[in-house]
Amino acid sequence: MLLHDDVSEEYRDFATYAAGDSPCFEEWALGVVEDAEVLAWLGTLPPVKRQPNLVFAAARWHGAPAPGPYAGLRRVLVEQEAEVRSTVMGRATQTNEVGRLATLTPVLALVEGPLALVEVGASAGLCQFPDRYDYDWAPVGSLRGSGGPLLTASATGPVPVPQRHPEVAWRGGVDLNPLDVTDPDAMAWLENLVWPEQDVRRERLRAAIDVARREPPRLRRGDLFDHLPGLLDEAAPHGTPVVFHSAVIAYLEEPDRRRFHDLMTGLVAEGRCRWVSNEGPRVLPGVTGGRAVPTGRFVTALDGVPLAWSHGHGHSLAWVG
């Protein structure tokens, strides 16, 4: 997905990203592209608040039927403009898709444990429990025995299928607006962010909330640049610190993306942590390295080296490392 781009191109790109996963969102995004009035309204929002996921979620929060035709979305945007704007400005797309663990766990398994996980853009911290799920990477292999929910991803290439679950000794993270897994309103918003047709994701989210509620993660509120060094100091006595993030750095402005890349490169070089990133191919060009990435796929990397092309919600994993 594109962020901080021309509004119409951002929505056109999102339509491509949603194709095959949400016919509703694909239709809505293409409808926006052809709607001069809605494009003009979106142009009055700060760039980071124009993103389709957030605008569509806000409209649904205020009654836009989904799945449903573009006309229903447009009616809510036009007739409830003030309410939608307030929600857009006050909320964020903290999707916290735990399905991404199906693509992250094979990479985490390459790091010597025990692991001390430090998540950037943690939302509610649902992705900090890779040891509490079972996995199926059809047709290359599986990992069972956690007693937790099953996550699946179709896999191609020489995926290093883990022989055991990661040993996680410590979990923590930072977010501008960390969500409390015990707060019903916050969890209702998370559920609202799940795409309309994706009932399996909705059920998976509910299961993930149950997992996290048993041991709520340590989450700090604030800017990642301010809190990351302290979190690493806190994590280090417990195991190998691993900074990880998924679909997060896209929300930074371009200069801060470069700053983050330089920060992580330096921390890895100093031996202070390992770094697992999972972002769109244009988000961290220093990681992508000019490699051709299939449309709609993320670059999943360890210490800045691409290892796989992954579906953004964890549905597939193509190992290239």
Q: Domain boundaries in the chain? A: 7-90, 98-319
Element (H, E) at 203: helix 199-213
Q: How many other C-beta atoms lie within 10 A of the C-beta of residue 206?
A: 14
Domain 98-319 class in CATH: alpha beta
d(CA 43, CA 52): 13
Element (H, E) at 116: strand 115-120
Dump the DSSP string for 236-286. GGGSEEEEEEES-GGGS-HHHHHHHHHHHHHHHHTTS-EEEEEE-TTT-HH
pTM: 0.85
In this prediction, residue 6 carries a pLDDT of 86
pLDDT along the chain (321 residues), means of 10: 69 91 96 96 93 97 98 98 97 90 98 97 96 98 96 97 97 95 95 94 94 94 96 97 95 94 98 97 95 93 98 94 82
In this prediction, residue 5 carries a pLDDT of 53
In this prediction, residue 95 carries a pLDDT of 80
In this prediction, residue 295 carries a pLDDT of 87
Q: Return the amino acid letter for 122.
A: A
